Chain A
Amino acid sequence: MTEQDEPVAERDILAQATAAGLGKAVDEFPQDVLAAAQAARQARQSLCAPDDSTAEPWPPMRASTPP
């Protein structure tokens, strides 16, 4: 990434946040918006792709049935 790219990326992130309805947060807390975007990016990068993308994900939580 070049030095010129970074502000563009930040503008994109803030635009994405505005599109998500976070315009007020963009105006008042832009650094928090950028930090949130970075946290989301890190979370997505640390997510291992499932072995089977056709596996049924519902119900999303099912500890095994009680004995």
Chain B
Amino acid sequence: MAADARVDSAVNDLHWLTAQEIAAAYAARRLSPVELVRALLARIDKLNPLLGAFIRVDAEAALDAARVSEAEIAAGRSRGPLHGVPVAVKDIIDVAGQATTCHSRIMLDHVAARDATVIARLRAAGAIIIGKLALHEFAIGGPSFDLPFPPARNPWNPLHHPGGSSSGAGAALAAGLVPLALGTDTGGSVRNPAGACGVVGLKPTYGTVSRHGVFPLAFTLDHVGPMARSTGDAAVLLDVIAGYDPLDPGSVDGGARQYSADLARGLRGLRIGFVRGFHERDIEADPEVIRALDEVARVLTCEGAELREVALPPLQDFFGAQRVIMASESWAVHARWLRARPGDYGASSRRRLMAGAFLSAGDYIEAQQRRHELIAAVAQASREVDVLLVANAMDTPCRIDDPDTIARTYSRQARNVFSLTGQPALALMCGLSSQGLPLSVQLAARAHDETTLLRVGAAYERATQWPQRHPALPTDAPVKPA
């Protein structure tokens, strides 16, 4: 359905509008920022007790910002495609004057003195910061019930987990609480909840988006990434937040670029490399996941892409290097608190973060050396293709109250491959399981080629219309989980 028609038919469903549709509606004077923010705040009031997506909603500040946007747009002073568009932020990213809790008792009193660079960029573009989102504690420990806030739940079935660690972002987007969100990704934490909740999550190339003002998990693996309900929205959000930042030592000065430039180009002439080995050889995926990935390959071929088979090193090789690096670097961040305040962590984080105490400097250096070899191996194997087609999760999300299954299935994934290599990776919904839970695919491109990656994602969405599918949620009254 065309954007204009969707806006017309969505008078009572403002919460499902994409950011691009919202911008079009503002431009046509068919919607105002205040009207939209009020509608979303009302929906958050109704659904957040069930879903736990938001830790904090800043209603007054959001409405104040909406009024300013409304006046500016009415005066013809547009600041671009995100002007007046609400964005929610994982609560590991600093927003001036608000606590950055990292979903942890350790950080409850940590009030940010200034905005993170990504927040400053959003404000300059006229976006409205509507609130802070739940996460797995410090982006590593969850889903957990022993933290100061409840865990976010999956809108497709609130008895199931929403992935993580950007759990609140996935839940908020899938439930129509907000059109755009910022997540962070160290071992797959944007792409996991995007896949589990049936939305879009992009881990950009390492260094593309500033991490200044974002609480670290592992310095050489951390990324900030856009999350949305469509690839187009993720691209528009990336256009705003990407760019060199001298305050982030990992930031790359690649010059200004428009990542949304090729969204409408289609797939003719592109070569897709299908990496079957991860989900057929290294970890046998759920049959529904395998069928969905085969169907993605078929759709991309029908849309004009050329499909090739690509073999990469075994997943276990990536896991080994990634786990040693993440454990070592996160131990360096948390050692002082783990020594002094171990009881203020949830059990899951405490166990994971203390692992680094038992690794040596030599282990860490070996892992970094192996990482460079894996980066080279992926580049060599992918030299004849433009984009890789890869599994995201090997299973659909299990019940949130089943820690044994969570522990068994969380590592059954192919996401940390690209956390390790630093190249961009995009998670997209590609179906619904027999249980009615989202299935997801992962696409990856060469470093700094987000434009091609987003082009493939947008073409796939046009061909399948998965972004138009939403979970059925009760909205008549505030509800709480059973």
Chain A positions within 8 Å of B, measured between CB atoms, are: 13, 16-17, 20-25, 28-29, 32-33, 35-37, 39-53, 55, 57-58, 60-67
Quick check: A66 and B254 within 8 Å, CB to CB? yes
Q: How far is it, in angstroms, between the C-alpha of A43 and the C-alpha of B331 when the chains are bound?
A: 14
- Indicate with 1 or 0, residue by residue over B336-351, a CB within 8 angstroms of chain A CB atoms: 0011101100010011
Quick check: B220 and A36 within 8 Å, CB to CB? no
- A-B CB proximity, top 7 nearest: A66-B254, A63-B422, A40-B358, A36-B354, A46-B320, A50-B369, A63-B447
Chain B residues, Cβ within 8 Å of A62: 372, 375, 422
The number of chain B residues touching the other chain, given as a range, is 35 or more
Given the interface pairs A37-B358, A40-B355, A63-B422, the reply to whether A52 lies near B369 with Cβ below 8 Å is yes
Q: How far is the CB of B185 from chain A (nearest CB, A)?
A: 14
Quick check: B354 and A17 within 8 Å, CB to CB? yes
Quick check: A47 and B370 within 8 Å, CB to CB? yes
B446 within 8 A of partner (CB)? yes
Given the interface pairs A17-B357, A63-B207, the reply to whether A57 lies near B372 with Cβ below 8 Å is yes
Quick check: B370 and A40 within 8 Å, CB to CB? no
Chain B residues, Cβ within 8 Å of A24: 339-340, 342
Chain B residues, Cβ within 8 Å of A64: 379, 446-448
Quick check: A43 and B350 within 8 Å, CB to CB? no
Quick check: A39 and B363 within 8 Å, CB to CB? no
List 12 contacting pairs A-B, 8 Å CB cutoff, sorted by A.
Answer: A24-B342, A29-B342, A32-B342, A36-B354, A42-B323, A44-B324, A48-B320, A50-B366, A50-B369, A61-B250, A62-B372, A65-B252
Quick check: A36 and B355 within 8 Å, CB to CB? yes
Q: How far is the CB of B470 from chain A (nearest CB, A)?
A: 34
B335 within 8 A of partner (CB)? yes
Given the interface pairs A40-B358, A43-B359, A50-B370, the reply to whether A28 lies near B342 with Cβ below 8 Å is yes
Chain B residues, Cβ within 8 Å of A36: 350-355, 357-358
